[in-house]
Amino acid sequence: MKFRKINFLIFAILFLTVFEGRSSVTYFGDMRPGGFIVARSSGIKSAVFNGSEIRTDGKYVTVGFDRDDKGSRRLELIFEDGSIETKTINLPEREYVIQHVRGLQEEHVTPRAEHAARISREREILRNAIEKAGRKEKAYFSSGIMRPVEGGRITSVFGSQRILNGVPGSPHNGIDIALPEGSPVRAMSDGKVILADDFFFAGKYVMIAHGQGLISFYMHLSKVEVVPGQRVYKGDKIGEVGMTGRATGPHLHWGVQWNRSRIDPALLLNTGIGLESSHFIMVSVGEQKLYLYSDGELVNSYPVSTSRYGTGNKSGSYKPPPGLHRVARKIGDGEPAGTVFRGRVRTGEITEIYYDGRTSEGDYILTRILRLEGLEPGINKGEGIDSYSRFIYIHGTKEEGLIGQPVSSGCVRMRNKDVIELFDIVEEGTLVEIIP
């Protein structure tokens, strides 16, 4: 069994450089106004951007460039061993379009005096929330970035100069995506909810901190399904599309900032963030085997049990979908073998494991969960076929005596000791290919 190179991922990464020295640094992202980059290494003690210290967790450093930034920037990474890596960034010019927006309620263009106190209070709430979000050092964003809605029509792009009912307004600091009211809105990455409120201009609104200054905003919602302080994971539903606040029709305004710098959400989607693991997993349904590779070399194989129905991608088919995936979320770290999960939440029960070929009532999810996200639109990503929404996992099982036979209800089962071993080796972001 040879490692198959995933060539399209090379083209998905807009910028990747490795500096060889005492410490190796990899950069992911887009170095232009509205762009965002991540530096990944090990043993980072501190980081300085344009003369100011910025946050790091020892592994990741993030930097964002505002819509109007120009000229040269300097990033310094200082390592525990005393070495320093310096990166000079020269930002190119970027042009933006002019957009006319008509049909807004006049009070949302020229607010009446009675709204002034509310607007001022909400601006202060936002300022405080952004400052709070910037203090989170944990790199939640390392789970990767996804588009928060499926489909829809982009009606306004990032950075456009807006003319509102004929009155010049501020530049548009996000992407507007028109969708039917009630369409699900999902977190673009792992993070913590900082705000969930109803504002004069933004309407029903959610702000999520993704760590090290990266923040996402979801505006004009008809419904909010999270609360401040809640931990969310990439792809979790946080609300529904609406037209609350300053809006002419149902749509999602998706905004992103790095601290106070305005970031173009479109530039986040193909950075390669979350895909940088050196490990690779291949699940062979025909062989009922899972193969683990490291840097292209086979390091282990494990017997598994996949679906009794074969492979397939349709929701409700109880079949594991073929194609390329990534480990979107790891669940169950440190739990004892036999721990029962329901809805990805530990129940507190530790069940008996059957080693003798017996079957159990129900499809038990035990010990560890590697939740998969499809990466191939039309195959395992998209409405009705989405692996993440279908809850496709690699997990431990109660029926260990049946491992090696296709008897599951759609997921990939492993022996409990094996799934613990795999869980401890691979990272979130590890690529997983399922082949018939």
Residues 302 and 214 in one domain: no
What is the C-alpha separation between 60 and 352, in angstroms, rounded? 41
CATH (domain of 60): 2.60.40
Task: State what percent of residues in the chain have pLDDT above 90.
Answer: 52
Task: Specify whether the backbone of 27 is left (phi greater than 0), alpha (psi in -120 to 50) or beta.
Answer: beta
Residue 35 lies in a domain: yes
What is the C-alpha separation between 379 and 323, in angstroms, rounded? 7
Residues 365 and 404 in one domain: yes
SS (H, E, C) the chain: CCCCCCCHHHHHCCCCCEECCCCCEEEEECCCCCCEEEEECCCEEEEEECCEEECECCCEEEEECCCCCCEEEEEEEEECCCCEEEEEEEECCCCCCEEEECCCCHHHCCCCHHHHHHHHHHHHHHHHHHHHHCCCCCCHHHHCCCCCCCCCEEEECCCCEEEECCEEEEECCCEEEECCCCCEEECCCCEEEEEEEEECCCEEEEEEECCCCEEEEEEEEEEECCCCCCEECCCCEEEEEECCCCCCCCEEEEEEEECCEEECHHHHCCCCCCCCCCEEEEEECCCCEEEEEECCEEEEEEEEECECCCCCCCCCCCCCCCEEEEEEEEECCCCCCCEEEECCEEEEEECCCECCCCCCCCCCEEEEEEEEEECCECCCECCCCCCCCCCCEEEECCEHHHCCCCCECCCEEECHHHHHHHHHHCCCCCEEEEEC
pTM above 0.75, yes or no: no
Residue 3 lies in a domain: no
Q: Are strands 393-396 and 412-414 parallel, antiparallel or unpaired?
A: parallel
Residues 263 and 285 in one domain: no
Residue 40 lies in a domain: yes
Give the range of the structural domain holding residue 250, as residue numbers without chain letter.
Answer: 98-268
Which of 71, 91, 111 is a domain's end point? 91
pLDDT digits (tens, 9 = 90+) for 268-300: 886 767 665 668 899 999 999 999 988 668 899
- pLDDT-derived band at 169, boundaries 50, 70, 90: low
pLDDT confidence of residue 19: 40
397-413 average pLDDT score: 94
pLDDT confidence of residue 2: 41
Residue tagged 């899972």 (tokens): 290
With 70 as the cut, is the pLDDT of residue 8 above it? Answer: no
Residues 6+ apart with CB under 8 A from 272: 9, 12, 13, 14, 16, 28
Residue 388 lies in a domain: yes
CATH (domain of 417): 2.40.440.10
Residue 2 lies in a domain: no
Which of 91, 108, 132 is a domain's end point? 91
Residue 346 lies in a domain: yes
- Arithmetic mean of pLDDT over the chain: 85
Residues 6+ apart with CB under 8 A from 350: 336, 338, 339, 340
Residues 78 and 130 in one domain: no
Count structural domains, the chain. 3
pLDDT digits (tens, 9 = 90+) for 93-136: 888 766 555 554 555 445 566 667 777 788 888 888 888 887 88
Compute, in degrees rounded to 10, the torsion defined by CA atoms 240, 244, 245, 249: 100
pLDDT confidence of residue 312: 87
- pLDDT-derived band at 26, boundaries 50, 70, 90: confident
pLDDT confidence of residue 397: 96
44-66 average pLDDT score: 93
Residues 292 and 399 in one domain: yes
Burial of 46 (C-beta count, 10 Å sphere; 0-12/13-18/19+): middle
Is the pLDDT higher at 3 or at 367?
Answer: 367
- pLDDT-derived band at 16, boundaries 50, 70, 90: very low
- pLDDT-derived band at 170, boundaries 50, 70, 90: low
Residues 251 and 167 in one domain: yes
Q: Yes or no: say if 272 and 16 are a contact pair by the CB < 8 Å rule.
A: yes
Which of 215, 234, 268 is a domain's end point? 268
pLDDT confidence of residue 137: 83
Q: Yes or no: say if 207 and 217 are a contact pair by the CB < 8 Å rule.
A: yes
Residues 105 and 80 in one domain: no
CA distances from 51 to 70, 86, 396 (A): 16, 12, 49
344-370 average pLDDT score: 93
With 50 as the cut, is the pLDDT of residue 141 above it? Answer: yes
Residues 148 and 111 in one domain: yes
Residues 32 and 128 in one domain: no
Q: Yes or no: say if 187 and 225 are a contact pair by the CB < 8 Å rule.
A: no
Is the pLDDT higher at 119 or at 426?
Answer: 426
- pLDDT-derived band at 9, boundaries 50, 70, 90: very low
408-427 average pLDDT score: 94
Residues 392 and 407 in one domain: yes
pLDDT digits (tens, 9 = 90+) for 211-264: 999 999 999 999 999 999 999 999 899 999 999 987 888 999 999 999 999 999
CATH (domain of 256): 2.70.70.10
Residues 292 and 341 in one domain: yes
397-425 average pLDDT score: 95
Residue 1 lies in a domain: no
138-150 average pLDDT score: 90
Task: State what percent of residues in the chain have pLDDT above 70.
Answer: 86
What is the C-alpha separation between 336 and 367, in angstroms, rounded? 6
pLDDT confidence of residue 360: 87
Residues 67 and 132 in one domain: no
